[in-house]
Amino acid sequence: MKTIALVAHDGKKQALLNWVGQHKAFFINKNLVATGTTGKMVAEVLQQEVVCLASGPLGGDQQIGAMIAEQKIDWLVFFWDPLSSQPHDPDVKALIRLAVVWNIPVACNQATADFIVHSNLYQQNYQREVPDFSVYQNRLEQK
Ligand SMILES: O=C(CO)COP(=O)(O)O
């Protein structure tokens, strides 16, 4: 079963909740994990279980990043707010970075999230290519 991580900054929470509410049927049979406040709100909208980690500023982004590195997340929906500063900006950057490192689909706005929900690739149970990190491993071993 696919696991989707959902995260939204305060200025983007309503946008995420609206989007999630528009796609209720899509989320049935999906494992959902989220940062603390986002998760509680999403669970209310969907009336579905959401694994709620710590709130973002308290380490929730880092927890999701760790799950990505452990290959436990298939898709990250992260509605980050480009118009306000965040005390935990390094964590935000690190989360997005890990999504790119591990080549998981990441939607940072509604348009991209819509594209993924409606993608034939997604419907066909798309399996992303896991990057080959052996070159880094070799470098570490040479040190
Ligand atoms: O800050 C966040 C993501 O960087 C989100 O955290 P909350 O879901 O706890 O508001």
Range of the domain at 71: 3-142
Q: State if pTM tops 0.90.
A: yes
- C-beta 35 within 6 A of ligand 1: yes
Q: Is the CB of 56 under 6 A from ligand 1?
A: yes
Q: Is 74 a catalytic residue?
A: no
What pairs with residue 51 in β-bridges? 33
* ipTM exceeding cut-off 0.95 for this assembly: yes
Give the pLDDT confidence score for residue 140 in this predicted structure: 76
Ligand 1, atom 3, lies closest to the CA of: 56
> What CATH number is attached to the domain comprising 113?
3.40.50.1380
Confidence at 70, pLDDT banded by 50, 70, 90: very high
pLDDT at 1: 80
Per-residue model confidence (pLDDT) at position 121? 86
Residues of the binding site for substrate:
9, 13, 35-38, 55-56, 88
Helix (H) or strand (E) holding 32, with range, is strand 31-34
Contact yes or no for 16/79 (Cβ under 8 A) = yes
Task: Give the helix/strand (H/E) hosting 19.
Answer: helix 13-22
Give yes or no for a contact between 78 and 116, defined as CB atoms under 8 angstroms apart. Answer: no
Give the residue numbers of the binding site. Answer: 9, 13, 35-38, 55-56, 88
Q: Does ligand 1 lie within 6 Å of residue 57's CB atom?
A: yes
Question: Measuring from atom 1 of ligand 1, which residue has the nearest CA?
Answer: 56
What are the tens digits of pLDDT across the range 12-34?
Answer: 999 999 999 999 999 998 999 99
Number of domains comprising the chain: 1
Q: Which of 38, 66, 73 is nearest to 52 (CA)?
A: 38
- Give the Å distances, CA to CA, from 133 to 26, 64, 86, 102: 33, 20, 31, 10
**One-letter amino acid identity for 138?**
N
pLDDT in tens, 92-139: 999 999 999 999 999 999 999 999 999 988 778 888 999 999 988 777
Atom of ligand 1 nearest to the CA of 95: 4
* CA gap 6, 41 in Å, rounded: 11
